Homo-oligomer: A and B are copies of this chain.
Amino acid sequence: MATILDVARIAGVSASSVSNFLNDRHAKMTPATLERIRSAVAELGYKPSSAARQLKTGHSAVIGLLVPSVANPFFGEIATAIQHAAQARGHQVILCNTYRDPHRETEFAEELAAFGVRGIITGSSLLNPQHLSGLAAKGLAIVAFEGNAALSAAQGITVVSTDNALATTLAVDHLVGLGHRHIAYVTGPLQTAVRAARLNGFRTAAQRHGLDGYVHEISLPPNEYGDDMIAELGIDAGLAIAKLQTRPTGVIAMNDLLAIGLAAGLREQGLAIPDDISLVGIDDLFLARLMNPPMTSVRQPLSAMAHAAIDCLLDAMGQSQPVQSRIFPPELIVRQSTAPAMPHKPNGRG
């Protein structure tokens, strides 16, 4: 590998000049010198060693991305969007699957810090990000992709999120608009700020419409952090809901992955979507429109959010000052899993 000295030798200048050239400090430099350096760099195919650069400057162009698991399509989409946005600003992304384990999350963050990483983005942060506050205090810039803005700000963490309460509100309003009065909300364990906010939005909206929204909370076996299990747990939830005394005519799922499982469970009990029961998801995974039937879902502007997250992070890294959190509005995408409510009949399949 060619070093900066090789380049300097070939161009007939000092290493410092090459360094200045590489870092866009050609304010005072003869066009001729500039050109000699440029061609020397090209000739050698020289790429600066980021290790040396980092050792000297103290920072690297790598940011960490902590997600529960990229096996979850939602986080896969996020990871892609973030990586894309990071690359557009000249940064690489290092990927960590935390399985929602706070210990693992802290460990990763520390390891990344030792790596010279000065900024991390956490996807779907836990309810209270206090386990990260120590790192934030140590100068690590942290952006939470989804999370509680108020709580996080107190820990020096910037939040980029959709308005999750509004997401469930849109779903409720949609179903109510179709005449539904018995609506269930199915959520996974309330261990994250996102889930709490969505549930909250559901409760508030249900109350506003004068409904007694039924909430079905899935419980996980202890010591399990299975994002990949969400869909499967959804199946059980679907079975349970189908058997309810007064069966809801509409169901809202915490997210699309859960909704996919719910759909399978409801189907298994002989219920047709949307004829017997309407279903709304959240996230609008690309899978939503491929389902049978295509599913109504609430979309988050992922790409815009990813760019915002990177912007916030780079800002925070640059100025070491708190950065303003940003909340994006979700959007309801109506497809064929929701239909007008049938006049209510007691639970017998007919």
Chain A interface (Cβ < 8 Å from any Cβ of B): 1, 47-52, 54-55, 60, 62, 65, 69-73, 75-77, 79-80, 83-84, 92-97, 110-111, 113-116, 228, 231-232, 235, 260-261, 263-264, 267, 286-287, 290-292, 294
Q: Given contacts A55-B55, A93-B95, A96-B83, are A50 and B260 in contact (CB under 8 A)? A: no
- Please give the distance in Å from A213's CB to the nearest CB on chain B: 26
Which residues on the B side are within 8 Å of A71 (C-beta)?
Answer: 73, 76-77, 79-80, 286
Contact: A290 with B47, CB < 8 Å? no
Complex CA–CA separation, A137 to B276 (angstroms):
62
Given contacts A97-B83, A290-B260, A290-B264, contact A47 B92 (CB under 8 A): no
Closest Cβ of chain B to A72, distance in Å, is 7
Tell which of B49, B52, B263 touches A292, judged by Cβ atoms closer than 8 Å.
B263
Residues of the B chain whose Cβ atoms lie less than 8 Å from the Cβ of A292: 263-264, 267, 291-292
A297 smallest CB distance to B (angstroms): 15
Contact of A51 among B47, B48, B55, B261 (CB under 8 A): B55
Sample of 7 more A-B contacts, CB < 8 Å, known A51-B60, A73-B73, A231-B290: A50-B115, A51-B115, A71-B80, A83-B97, A231-B287, A235-B290, A264-B294
Q: Closest CB of chain B to A186's CB: distance in Å?
A: 15
The docked-state distance in angstroms from the alpha carbon of A54 to that of B114 is 12
Q: Give every chain B residue within 8 A of A73 (Cβ-Cβ).
A: 71, 73, 76
How many copies of the polypeptide does the oligomer hold? Answer: 2
The residue of chain B having its C-beta at the shortest distance from the C-beta of A54 within the complex is: B51
CB < 8 Å: which of B70, B80, B93, B114 contacts A50? B114
The docked-state distance in angstroms from the alpha carbon of A294 to that of B76 is 23
Q: Smallest CB-CB separation from A265: which chain B residue?
A: B290
Asked if residues B80 and A69 are in contact (CB atoms below 8 Å), the reply is yes
Decide: A116 and B51 in contact? CB cutoff 8 A: yes
A97 → chain B, closest Cβ, in Å?
A: 6
A49 touches B96 (CB 8 A): no
The answer for the CA separation of A72 and B76 in the assembled complex, in Å, is 7
| Minimum CB–CB distance for A227 against chain B, Å | 10
Across-interface contacts of A1 in B (CB, < 8 A):
113
Among residues of B, the one whose C-beta sits closest to the C-beta of A264 is: B290
Question: Would B260 and A47 count as touching, CB distance under 8 A?
Answer: no
Q: Report which of B55, B80, B114 forms a contact with A70, defined as CB distance below 8 A.
A: B80
- A47 proximity list for chain B (CB < 8 A): 110-111, 113-114
Complex CA gap A111/B75 in Å reads 25
Q: How far is the CB of A22 from chain B (nearest CB, A)?
A: 12
Residue in B closest to A138 when the chains form the complex, CB atoms: B1
Inter-chain contact B114/A49, CB cutoff 8 Å: yes
Collect the chain B residues with CB atoms within 8 Å of residue A264's CB: 290-292, 294
Give the docked Cα–Cα distance between A96 and B82 (Å): 11
B-chain residues with CB within 8 Å of residue A115 when the two chains form the complex: 50-51, 62, 92
